[in-house]
Every structure is written in structure tokens, then in C-alpha cells.
């Protein structure tokens, strides 16, 4: 696929190395659901990602399989307060305590799940996510789903990859603002952070 690079030029997007099957040990794996909140997903949200609602069913399926296999579940929750400088970049979103800040009902956390409130794109930055993943749960494999692919999903995947977690991202479980951003995310995860990408959540098998 060719995409614009600079005026008058295009670049070819490298072929993405999708894996047909990825096996993960349930007891050493965590699923991280990134920012599946009303403001990003639901009609009436202040910063809706076009394909985010469509990722709810595959994420539900992934979570069901993960829970059955004993994998850990963590959610990141984008959280902002009055005067947050991020609102100068994006429309106001995910104001703490509002409807838009809440995780969508279809993916509501269950008892024992971890919910990590974050103020920036990276789910590890200034949060207790690393403490639970590495020191309490002692997991080695992370499956990332959620939104926005090229922003909070990718920054969280980057932080995980730099910590040498094995990162897995199913394409149907993430959503981006553009097709280019989606391809960029999958390219970076599979190449720069040596993770695995799949087309569907069904390709991820917990053992």
C-alpha cells in the first residue's frame, strides 16, 4: 500500500507479518484494555474514534478466553482534570468523574481486575501498572487492545517492549483515527518492539 509521505511523493507500507496463531501461557499473561471509555467509543463522546465501537465484541471474546485461562486483566483509564495541557492538543475528554471518563459498560472491569488511571498516552508513565505486572502478577506476556491505536495503545506497547515484555496485538481489537495510523501501530509493534501481531483475537490461544 502506498501512502503520501511528503508533497509529490509516496512511500510503500511494508508487509505486516501477521501471525496465524500465538500461544500464551494463561498464568504468565495479562490483557491490557487501553482507554475503552465513553468519550472515545460511544456516540456523544467528545473524541470518538470511528472504529472503536466495533472492537467491543472481539475484546469481549478475548477477555472471556483470558479469564477462563487464568490470565490477568488490566484497564487503563485516561484521566484529566481542569487545566490539563493535553486539552490544548485535543478536545476536552475523559474529565475525571464524568460519563465520558467511564469505561464502556460492555467491557466493565470485574472484581480482581486492575484499573490504572493515567494522565498521558503511556499506561506505564506515572502509574502502578509496572508494579502489578512485574512484581505482583509476575507476567511476561501482554496482549494489548483498545484505542487509540497510534497513540495510547502504541505508547503503552512501546513502554512494555522497552521493559522486555512479550507484546501481542490483535488488529481487530484496536482502533485508530486513520488506516495509516493503524498500519503504523502494527508495524512498530511487530518490528521495533519485536512483538507479535494477529488479524483476529481468535488467533491468540491461551494454554
H or E, element range at 103? none
User: 3 falls in which pLDDT band (50, 70, 90)?
Assistant: low
In this model, does residue 6 exceed pLDDT 80? no
Q: Is it the case that residue 117 has pLDDT exceeding 60? A: yes
pLDDT digits (tens, 9 = 90+) for 139-177: 999 999 999 999 999 999 999 999 999 999 999 999 999
Q: Is the dihedral of CA 40, 42, 45, 47 positive or negative?
A: positive
pTM for the predicted model, two decimal places:
0.93
Taking residues 52-66, what's their average pLDDT? 98
- Say how many C-beta atoms besides its own lie within 10 A of residue 64's C-beta: 11
Which CB contacts under 8 angstroms, 24+ apart, belong to 3-9?
Answer: 3/180
**pLDDT at residue 192, as a whole number:** 93
Residue 2: per-residue pLDDT? 58
Q: Which of 13, 1, 18, 17 is CA-nearest to residue 201?
A: 18
Q: What positions carry a catalytic annotation?
A: 35, 118, 152
The model's confidence at residue 5, banded by pLDDT at 50, 70 and 90, is: low
The yes-or-no verdict on residue 1 having pLDDT over 70 is no
Mean of per-residue pLDDT scores for the chain? 94
Instruction: Give me the mean pLDDT over the 175-201 stretch.
Output: 95
Asked if residues 132 and 124 have their Cβ atoms less than 8 Å apart, the reply is no
Residue 190 has pLDDT above 60, yes or no: yes
Write down all domains in the chain, each with its CATH number in brackets: 36-81+89-206 (3.40.50.850)
Q: Check pLDDT > 70 for residue 87.
A: yes
Q: What's the pLDDT score for residue 90?
A: 85
How far does the chain reach from its first CA to its final CA, in angstroms? 35
Please list the helix, strand and coil fractions of the chain in percent, rounded to the nearest 5, in that order: 35, 25, 40
Lookup: cell for 99:
460519563
Amino acid at each position: 500500500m502506498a501512502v503520501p509521505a511528503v508533497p509529490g511523493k509516496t512511500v510503500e507500507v511494508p508487509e505486516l507479518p501477521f501471525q496465524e496463531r500465538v500461544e500464551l501461557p494463561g498464568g504468565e499473561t495479562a490483557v491490557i484494555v487501553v482507554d475503552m471509555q465513553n468519550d472515545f467509543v460511544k456516540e456523544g463522546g467528545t473524541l470518538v474514534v470511528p472504529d472503536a465501537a466495533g472492537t467491543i465484541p472481539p475484546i469481549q471474546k478475548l477477555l472471556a478466553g483470558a479469564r477462563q485461562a487464568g490470565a490477568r486483566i488490566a484497564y487503563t483509564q485516561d484521566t484529566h482534570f481542569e487545566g490539563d495541557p493535553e486539552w490544548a492538543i485535543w478536545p476536552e475528554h475523559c474529565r475525571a468523574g464524568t460519563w465520558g471518563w467511564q469505561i464502556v459498560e460492555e467491557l466493565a472491569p470485574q472484581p480482581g481486575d486492575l484499573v490504572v488511571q493515567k494522565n498521558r498516552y503511556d499506561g506505564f508513565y506515572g502509574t502502578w501498572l509496572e508494579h502489578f505486572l512485574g512484581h505482583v502478577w509476575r507476567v511476561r506476556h501482554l496482549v494489548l487492545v483498545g484505542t487509540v491505536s497510534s497513540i495510547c495503545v502504541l505508547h503503552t506497547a512501546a513502554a512494555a517492549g522497552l521493559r522486555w515484555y512479550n507484546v501481542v496485538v490483535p488488529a481487530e481489537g484496536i482502533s485508530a483515527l486513520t488506516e495509516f495510523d493503524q498500519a503504523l501501530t502494527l508495524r512498530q509493534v511487530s518490528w521495533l518492539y519485536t512483538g507479535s501481531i494477529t488479524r483476529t483475537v481468535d488467533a491468540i490461544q491461551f494454554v
